């Protein structure tokens, strides 16, 4: 790490499916812990309390944190019923407490293809406000990530969400903005005051994911500015090879362009390369 205050985490399920593999990858790269997304027990939002306790114990035994819960909450269609998602949020908050996580990463609903997102603005804000109400007072912060296909896929609509829904803060993902045709420096200036942490992921202009600093995401400048503002936490999200579960993270018929420019012999090599790229920037 660059200094004693900065904390580096990762989506370690890109290194391996099991908790053991993830912990080994985190330790090997000198990180502080994980943004937990998937394990051999399934998606983090669907695990049992006993499974969460086991994961928490294993991370704690190694002196590691589960800094954030990388949930898929809000990755459903805007026309889908909300109540099941609110119930899933309640369970995920309970899981976050067991894991010792202070954050839950979430999204702002898929917009039907071919329709104008603005048509659903009021519904989006209402649904996110209900989610924020569920999380209020729990000690867990809801962190909205920009993502292609959802309402908050660009910087302007992300700002609407972060401005109009008290209790939700931002996760800034440069590669996702690139894939939506958004200039990352402009987006950063617009959103940085409302951003809690960064996902370290870079891409070329055509959307292909590359190690941090190798794309057009201005990751080095954004990280430097984030740190100058007192930002202390970064999550590495490699996406450099196709890993188990990637398809479940995206809407049917869509595919992240990963592993097509920088390729690695295995998942651990790709994970290590992503960690090294960030350290080189730092």
Q: Between 121-135 and 155-164, two packed helices, what is the crossing angle to 10 degrees?
A: 50
pLDDT in tens, 230-268: 999 999 999 996 544 555 555 665 555 544 567 888 899
The string of pLDDT tens digits covering residues 186-226 is 999 999 999 999 999 999 999 999 999 999 999 999 999 99
CA distance linking residue 138 with residue 276, whole number of Å: 35
Residue 214: Cβ within 10 Å count? 15
Tens of pLDDT, residue by residue over 260-275, are: 567 888 899 999 999 9
Q: Full-prediction pTM beyond 0.75?
A: yes
Yes or no: say if 12 and 32 are a contact pair by the CB < 8 Å rule: no
Cα–Cα separations (whole angstroms), residue 125 to 3, 36, 78, 164: 39, 26, 11, 7
pLDDT tens, residue by residue, 15-36: 999 999 999 999 999 999 999 9
Chain mean pLDDT for the chain: 93
List domains and CATH numbers for the chain: 7-281 (3.20.20.150)
Quick one: pLDDT band at residue 1, thresholds 50, 70, 90?
A: very low
pLDDT of residue 261: 61
């Amino acid at each position: 790490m660059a200094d004693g205050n900065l904390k580096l985490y990762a989506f370690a399920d890109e290194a391996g499916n099991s908790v053991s593999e993830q912990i080994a990858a985190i330790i090997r790269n000198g990180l502080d812990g994980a943004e937990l997304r998937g394990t051999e027990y399934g998606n983090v939002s669907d695990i049992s309390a006993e499974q969460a306790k086991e994961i928490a114990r294993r991370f704690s035994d190694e002196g590691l944190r589960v800094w954030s819960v990388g949930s898929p909450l809000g990755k459903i269609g805007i026309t889908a019923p909300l109540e099941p998602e609110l119930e899933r949020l309640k369970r995920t908050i309970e899981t976050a407490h067991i894991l010792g996580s202070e954050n839950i990463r979430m999204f702002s609903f898929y917009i039907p293809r071919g329709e104008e997102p603005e048509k659903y603005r009021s519904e989006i804000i209402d649904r996110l406000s209900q989610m924020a109400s569920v999380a209020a007072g729990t000690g867990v912060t809801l962190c909205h990530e920009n993502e292609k296909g959802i309402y908050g896929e660009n910087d302007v609509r992300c700002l609407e969400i972060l401005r109009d829904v008290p209790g939700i803060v931002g996760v800034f993902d440069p590669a996702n903005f690139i894939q939506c045709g958004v200039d990352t420096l402009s987006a950063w200036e617009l959103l940085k005051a409302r951003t809690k942490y960064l996902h370290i992921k870079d891409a070329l202009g055509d959307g292909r994911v590359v190690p941090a600093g190798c794309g057009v995401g201005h990751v080095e400048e954004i990280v430097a500015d984030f740190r100058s503002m007192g930002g202390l936490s970064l999550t590495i999200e490699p996406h450099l090879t196709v890993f188990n579960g990637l398809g479940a993270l995206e809407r049917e018929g869509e595919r992240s362009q990963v592993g097509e420019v920088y390729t690695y012999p295995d998942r651990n090599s790709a994970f290590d390369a992503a960690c090294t790229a960030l350290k080189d920037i730092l």
